[in-house]
Homo-oligomer: A and B are copies of this chain.
Amino acid sequence: MKTRSVREQLVEHALVLIRRRGFNGFSYRDLAELVGVKTSSIHYYFPSKDDLVLEAVREYSARMQARLHAIDSNLPPAEQARQYLAPLRANAGTDQACLVSMLSADVLVLPDAVRAVMQDYIRGNEQWLARLFERAAAQRETPYQVAPQQLAQVVYGALQSGQISARLFGTTERLDAAASLLANAMPVEPELAHA
């Protein structure tokens, strides 16, 4: 049982609200009621809504970076891919989408600082995937027909789109299709030695 500061609770619930309804889809009132404070208290921590969303996207991006870093790059590529995909599948059943995808609709009215973090988030994912493809390529029998970086952009795009589709269709069909393509691009794992 851990007690979080009001500020932490605000960010935590803001993450959920944005991932559910987007930047224009929730209000300070919604957030205040979830945390159990008055709207004026939110303004104490985050003077404007732009400040709040900036903090939320920073936190979201930092957590993803931590997750990517936590995957052991010495593991077989197929296992790394599995660990990367696991939380995507888990979230797909939720009514929460990727925060960066949700904010993408509001790109024209979001501050530059927010856009910059969104770009970092996507590039971070693409780079992680690209490096995975690079290492995987060395272990594969047949080479890739496209550069790792391009392959990473296509696969990551399909995964993002697949997550969005999961909410619209109520099925992980498209996310699974993208995940399969990633999994199939991994080299076949050598059998584990057992005595």
Contact = CB atoms under 8 A, between A and B. Distances in A.
Interface of A: 20-22, 24-25, 95, 97, 101-102, 104-109, 115, 118-119, 122, 145-146, 150, 153-162, 164-165, 167-169, 173-174, 177-178, 180-181, 184
Top 4 A-B pairs ranked by shortest CB distance?
Answer: A157-B161, A24-B24, A157-B158, A22-B105
Give the dominant DSSP class at A's interface: helix
Number of copies: 2
A151 B119 CA distance: 27
A168 B22 contact: no
B174 A157 contact: yes
Contacts of A168: 104, 107, 115, 118-119, 122
A165 B108 contact: no
Given A161-B161, A162-B157, A21 B150 contact: no
